[in-house]
């Protein structure tokens, strides 16, 4: 039954992605806000299908930031990006530059929220990312980053990269850690019924900024402690 429900969801996901991607293609030449509305509608439909076909719901604990902030989240599945995109107010999302090359998906992501990073391009790429990040927080929007850089299965050893501190020290806005347990229910193709928790934790103040070691330790401790608690519940 789990495999059948997962397959039905995959059909739903591919169907709405293809149909909406083609039908709303002209929006890419209009102001960004129109593409944002389309992207949020698509995300709602994906998560709605996840509930309908797979019995996966969600609950949000804590309060999302109401303005400029760095939101640093645990990352276990694609669900995380969709749920955080809807929970936050028009976030800019730091992601791999290669994702922008994916037909349809990459085009809309590039238009609506992407702050691409090319890890192999060195200092020039980092400066470009910082300029884009400043443009996002400068307009009062939050910035979403997954500080481990990739998805991690539940229980995997943490591996936090220092890039999040570079943004924190530059932007001087609070950093909101996020814990979640999506990996319990979304494991690649397989989707298991349950309720995924998205938990916004106590912010790390942006002023005065912490030094690198203290910041990275605080961020990892808060996310990992809360995430382990969710996984054990």
Note the pLDDT tens digit of each residue in 108-158. Answer: 888 887 788 766 555 666 777 788 889 899 999 999 999 998 899 999 999
pTM listed for this prediction: 0.93
Low-confidence ranges of the chain (pLDDT < 50): none
β pairing state of 175-180 and 92-96: unpaired
Give 92's DSSP letter: E
In this predicted structure, what is the pLDDT of residue 128?
76
Half-sphere exposure of 98 (CA within 13 A, CB side): 3
The pLDDT score that the predictor gives to residue 121 is 56
Pairing of strands 194-200, 175-180: antiparallel
pLDDT score of 195:
98
CA angle 37, 42, 44 (to 5 degrees): 95
Output the pLDDT for position 117.
75
CA-based nearest residue to 175, from 130, 131, 205, 207:
205
């Amino acid at each position: 039954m789990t495999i059948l429900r997962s397959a039905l969801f995959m059909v739903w996901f591919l169907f709405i992605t293809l149909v909406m991607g083609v039908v709303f293609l002209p929006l890419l030449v209009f102001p960004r806000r129109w593409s944002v509305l389309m992207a949020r509608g698509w995300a709602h439909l994906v998560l709605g299908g996840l509930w309908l076909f797979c019995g996966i719901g969600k609950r949000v604990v804590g309060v999302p930031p109401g303005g400029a902030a760095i939101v640093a989240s645990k990352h276990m599945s694609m669900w995380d990006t969709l749920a955080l995109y809807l929970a936050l107010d028009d976030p800019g999302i730091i992601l791999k530059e290669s994702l922008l090359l994916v037909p349809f998906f990459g085009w809309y992501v590039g238009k609506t929220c992407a702050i691409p990073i090319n890890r192999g391009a060195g200092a020039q790429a980092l400066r470009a990312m910082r300029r884009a990040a400043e443009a996002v927080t400068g307009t009062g929007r939050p910035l979403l980053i997954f500080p481990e850089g990739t998805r991690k299965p539940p229980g995997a050893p943490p591996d936090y990269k220092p890039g999040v501190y570079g943004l924190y020290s530059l932007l001087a806005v609070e950093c909101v850690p996020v814990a979640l347990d999506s990996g319990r229910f979304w494991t690649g193709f397989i989707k298991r019924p349950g309720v995924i928790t998205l938990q916004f934790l106590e912010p790390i103040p942006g002023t005065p900024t912490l030094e690198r070691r203290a910041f990275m330790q605080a961020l990892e401790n808060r996310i990992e402690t809360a995430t382990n608690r969710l996984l054990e519940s």
